[in-house]
Amino acid sequence: MMTFLSQNVAARVLRDRMQQDADAPAQDSLALAQDSVAADTSNASPLVDLVEAPSRIVTKLSEIFSIEAVVAVGLKLFLIVIIAWGVIKVVDRALQVWNGRFEDLPLIAPRRQRALTISTLMSSSARYVVWSIALITILDVMNIDVGALIATAGIAGIAIGFGAQSLVKDMIGGVLLLFDDTIHVGDLVRLGTDEGLVEDIGVRTIKIRRFNGELLMVPAGDLRTFGNRSIGFVRAVVPVGLSYGQDADRIMEVMQRVADEYAADHPDILITDEPPIVQGITNFAESSVDVRIVIKMLPGEQWNAERELRRRLKRAFDQEGISIPFPQRTLHLVQESEQRNPFSTASTAASPKDDEGDRWESGSEDTPSV
């Protein structure tokens, strides 16, 4: 019995061993097949990447432009714009408070003009700087390479700088004008034949309002030679024409009295280091003898002073019986029967023959007889 059982166990072990030997080649072939497939897959990875690229791009875009991402980016952009706008408003408010310290000064006061000019420049500069930083921040939030963009902008700026030299010159000229403190908002300036009030001084242009309302835009780089009538003092000059037949000394005394009376009535606008003066005879004109009144005063008051002086002179001349000259011309009439040069001052023209005869006759009378 025992012998029979041991034979059965040995036969079963033998069958299992034979089955394992039969399955081993199949497993080896399956492993080899899997390795070959993996090798083929690794060798074909570029093609697979190309095929799968659109799906990956779509997946990335879906992640970026998802509702949550769009809301987050929109909130960031909104906050950037709000912060930039708020910074500019704070700067403008601070400049308004600073300008309020000079509102009690006259409009032509140098301190008030300087404060208004500097505040205008700082306001425009703050806008340039704040909005530039805001733009760079917005590009960074939108995942745009700001470094490469700035490098490209720098190279483009160099190229544009060579082509926009006049623009750079205007900007540098505007900054230098502000630092030189030679022109302010509210100044009366003269540019060639144009004259007006300065309304705005920017980094690049200066706005000047003429008396007729025309607004001149002058590039700061072209503002090389100009006259400023709002610095220091001015003189009110009133020229008066006198008749040649009148007593100039007496009329100048009347004019001096009028000038002194005006100075006594307006001491607040005069500069006392130079009294009003009648500067004598300044010109012999065609129909008049020119005399003028000169009064030194504060800038901006000369036009009203000149008008008031003319009104007072007219009233004083009427009281003194002094007439204002009018254009006159003297004509010399020459008759056609006179044989002489019409431009000559001699009354008659003697011929050489008549002169010789006169000399002979006088010689014959004076020569004694032999």
**Lowest model confidence (mean pLDDT) among 102-116, 124-138, 212-226, 236-250:** 102-116
Residue ranges of the chain assigned to CATH 2.30.30.60: 179-228
Domain 69-163 grouped into CATH 1.10.10.60: no
**Residue 174 in contact with residue 206, Cβ under 8 Å?**
yes
Cβ neighbors of 160 (< 8 A, separation 6 or more) are none
The span from the CA of 277 to the CA of 292, in Å, is 9
**Residue 276 in contact with residue 293, Cβ under 8 Å?**
yes
Summarize pLDDT for 240-289 with one digit per residue, the tens.
Answer: 988 888 888 999 999 999 999 998 888 888 887 888 889 888 888 888 88
Q: What is the chain's alpha carbon radius of gyration, rounded to the nearest angstrom?
A: 51
Phi then psi dihedrals of residue 71, to 5 deg: -65, -40
User: What are residue 228's DSSP bridge partners?
Assistant: 189
In terms of C-beta density within 10 A (0-12 exposed, 13-18 middle, 19 or more buried), how is residue 127 classed? Answer: middle
The CATH number of the structural domain formed by 234-320 is: 3.30.70.100
- Type and span of the H or E element at 358: helix 352-366
**Rounded to the nearest 5 degrees, what angle is found at the Cα of 264, between the Cα atoms of 239 and 276?**
35
Summarize pLDDT for 141-184 with one digit per residue, the tens.
Answer: 877 777 777 777 777 777 776 766 777 777 777 777 767 777 87
Encoded tokens for 293: 């009144």
Q: Which residue has the higher pLDDT, 80 or 352?
A: 80
Domain 179-228 grouped into CATH 2.30.30.60: yes
Summarize pLDDT for 205-218 with one digit per residue, the tens.
Answer: 888 898 888 898 88
- Type and span of the H or E element at 42: helix 2-43
Residue whose C-alpha is closest to residue 248's, from 216, 213, 194, 289: 289
Cβ atoms < 10 Å from Cβ of 266: 15
